[in-house]
Structure 1
Amino acid sequence: MTTEAFKIDKINRRILEVLQLDARISNIALADAVHLSPSACLERVKKLEQQGFITRYLGEIAVTKIAPLLESYAEVTLSNHRPEDFKQFHAAVKAEKAIVQCHKVSGRYDYLIRIAVRDMAALSRLTDRLLGAGIGIAKFTTVPIIENPKPFGGYPLEELLDGA
């Protein structure tokens, strides 16, 4: 089945909405939530996975219950913008475990990265390591996160798909 032939109808959208909030929901509970039989629901979930609409299942953990945590964003600007400069930066970011997310962006800087470390000293060491790595960073501005009043709770599929 091709992606073009597979439609995200209201039931598929609802399955995706429920799964992004609770990936461990049982098939029976999911089927009940979307008003399908368990077998029909499981078939739809498998098709959503096969077609790449569901790319992975993650468990969100309460990190602060097991270790200190300082999360920060960093705005990164590169000195040069040649393809090899981007490749070199990407390789360095992928190798750095404390960088948990990286976005290449448009605007006043080139990248917005999300960092998870124990404390300010660890953030300083990471910053020094990256700036000293010779990977073409011209500017590196960190923005520590003080509070997260609205954590990521999934994409607003209904609003995104309204125009579809």
Structure 2
Amino acid sequence: MICRILLLISLNCVCGTFVVNVTQTSYQAEENHNITLEWTFTTTADTPTDSLHIFCEMKSNQTVSVLFEIRGGVEIPESQDQQFVGRVQWDKDVLRDGRLRLHVSRLRTEDSGRYLCDVETHYDGGSGECRLNVSAARDQPEPERSKPASRGRIVLCCVPVLTAAVVVGLFVHKVCC
């Protein structure tokens, strides 16, 4: 009887306890901005990062693109789709804590879609999915051009000079004539 209970406990520990969650199910961003997508997964003290296989992809109506891949704790950049090359970074320091953080920079409208990450260990695996909607950048209004301040100063400087010239002219005219 004790053996059966221990067998059930061990099967429960190996199977069905690995969970992958997204910290946010839906993201909204604007073109040319940056965003951080985050997944969490179950880790234990005996789950070394070099046993992890992580595969993330973006699915849209037209395509499926590889966003990111790690095998044995090592990033596989050659598997990444050209659309994401140079725009996806990951936080290595939080992987041990059971977190996968992907920073996607210079967003494009074609980055809109479902983002799915599969996380597997030697024993188990799971996946989590979120949605990203990237809207087109809004047109920025042109800044108003201010009138040069020097024009007003020129007028103000010329008025006293002209006034002085008229006064001097009148004085000279009275003295001479």
With the length of structure 1 as denominator, give the TM-score of the two structures.
Answer: 0.29
Structure ranking higher in strand proportion: 2
Report the TM-score when normalising by structure 2.
0.27
**More helix as a share of residues:** 1
